[in-house]
Every structure is written in C-alpha cells, then in structure tokens.
Amino acid sequence: MARRQPHHTDRRPHRLVPGDRVALVGPSSPVDLDRLAAGTEILRSWGLEVISSEHLHDTHPTLSHLAGSDAARAADFQRAWLDPTIAAVICARGGYGVQRMVDLLDWDALRAAPPKVMAGFSDVTVLHEAVAQHLDIPTLYGPMASGATFVDDGPTAEHLRRTLFHPADTQILTSPTAEPLVPGQARGITAGGCASALATDRGTPTARPSFAGTILLLEDVNEHPYQLDRILTQLLRSGALDGVAGIALGSWAGCGTLDRVRRVMLDRLAPLGVPVLWELGFGHGPSTLTVPLGVPARLDADAGTLTLEEPALREDTR
C-alpha cells in the first residue's frame, strides 16, 4: 500500500500496521538461509508481507565475504526504497560490505521519495549515517532478519515489533545492566552505532563533521580492549567527539573482560566531561534493544535511562 507524503516539517517515517509490505535487503555479508527463513516467518507472524530483494541470496563472484556485487547490493536497497508499496527496508545481516556500496546510491532520488522505516545494526551503521546525512530521517538501530538474536531471543524480536508498530510504547529505554560510568544528564539527537564502523567511516563522503549535540551510541563485538582504545582514540583525534552531549554504551560481546573494557571507556571518554551510561542493552549482545537514531532524547546516566522525546515513527499511518 502506498504511504502518504508526510508534512515537510516531519521527516519521520510512518509506523507499521498489519498488511504492510517490508523488503529484506542484504547490503553487507551473505545471509544464513535457514535463519533468514526463520526470521521471515517471525515478520510474517506480525501480519507483514515480506518481500525478498532480488539479490538477497547472492554471494559475490570472487569475494565470499560479500553478499553479491556492490552494484547489486546498492540496486536492491535503492529499488526497495523507491518502491511506493514498501513501508520498511529491513537489513538481513551485517558483517561487512556497506562501505563498498553506499556511494553507489542515488541520494537525490532517495530523498525525493517519502521517508520509510530502515532497520539494521553492526556494519549497517555506515548506512544509518549516510541516511542521516543525506535524508535526515530517523532510523532503527536494531536486530536484522537473519540475525541469531532476532530468531532465538523472544524479547529482542518483541522490542523490535513494538518499536515498529507501537513506537510510543518504546520511548523509555533501559536494561538491568544500565548504570552510570560518568554520572549526569544530557539532551541531544541520538546517533552512532558500531564503534569500529564509525571510526572507519571518518574522512568519507558519508561521515558527518562531528557528533556535536548528539547522544552518541557506541557498541562493538570481537574487538580486544587495545583495539577499542585505538577505535576511540581515532574518533577523538578526528574531532568526531567534539561537542558530543552524552554517550550511551551498549554490548561488548567478545571484547575481553568487561572490567578491562570499562577501564578503556573511562580512560578515553571521561575526559570529555559528559554523562556516559554503561551497558544500555543494545548491540551484539544475546538480547538487544532497538534504539532509534536521529531522534531527540534525554540521557540520564544516574537513572540508567535513555528517553526519546518523541516516538521514532509517526503515529498517523495514512
């Protein structure tokens, strides 16, 4: 069903309703077909019509770490975004590959189309940043259709469902592990994602000058503490963190002992003099929240909460 063009002052996509068509795309690494089938069934159980993009099952002809050619992955994303019958574009998997396809997108054409929901995380961080810079619309940093966490963890899938269908019910984000690393409160626009992807994005056409005025989300997977130190130092030296309002940290699966990770975060981030919230519960963990990006929010490190000042998606669906 076609979506109504939103008012020019509100670039938020519409929330989903049963019967909406959603497109699955693979902008990064090849998908696990069994998990993709299981994830597709979950989406269908929500009343959605799920459309697989043309090259979703592809593998690059010579580079097995990529899901099809760069041109094919870009074309799938662009085709889904420009299709007026598609309400949401959901990434099937991260891994690596967005950086190779993102500059092949026609951003003028994408901006001319009505905003729609985009969901994904990890390597999709680079695509979130590109959409933020070129289209200026909120996106969802959350689980992907063939992700093990989405398929295996009920609370992960349920939080994504509520965010998609009932966004006003998911404006307060917290987790049992959330606590202040640096105390305080701050307000800003949510941004960020996978720390290593943000660091490697610096100096590219899709990288913003800095995260000034944002509540910056940071998480990662399988990076040793010294590598996290290097990643954060790159962000600091490049000026990316100049003027950041506050920081919310997510999961650090496979990054070594949490005590060592905490020490790196404290050493690198505390000198910024802004509130830092430890382990909000998003990212690569065994259970994960969906966190909207590009939305005004209040960070309360002392209370362990990130509160969106408005729903990420518009409530008027037609």
Rounded Cα–Cα distance for residues 66 and 81 (Å): 21
Residue for token digits 């690393």? 181
Task: Determine whether 224 is an active site residue.
Answer: no
In 113-161, DSSP assigns E strands to 117-120, 139-141
Which residue ranges make up each domain of the chain? 21-170, 172-308
Query: What is the mean predicted confidence (pLDDT) over 156-178?
Result: 98
Calculate the alpha carbon distances from 132 to 81, 139, 140, 289 in Å: 15, 8, 11, 20
For 200-236, write each residue's pLDDT tens digit.
999 999 899 999 999 999 999 999 999 999 999 999 9
Task: Determine whether 53 is an active site residue.
Answer: no
For 104-143, write each residue's pLDDT tens digit.
999 999 999 999 999 999 999 999 999 999 999 999 999 9
Query: What is the mean predicted confidence (pLDDT) over 280-309?
Result: 97
Note whether 21-170 and 172-308 share their fold: no
Task: Determine whether 219 is an active site residue.
Answer: yes
Q: What is the pLDDT of residue 9?
A: 57
Query: What is the mean predicted confidence (pLDDT) over 179-193?
Result: 98
pTM of the prediction?
0.95
Q: What is the pLDDT of residue 313?
A: 98
Indicate if the pLDDT at residue 2 is higher than 60: no
Fold annotation for 21-170: Rossmann fold (3.40.50)
Which member of 122, 175, 196, 251 is catalytic? Answer: 122
CATH of domain 172-308: 3.50.30.60
Which member of 29, 53, 146, 219 is catalytic? Answer: 219
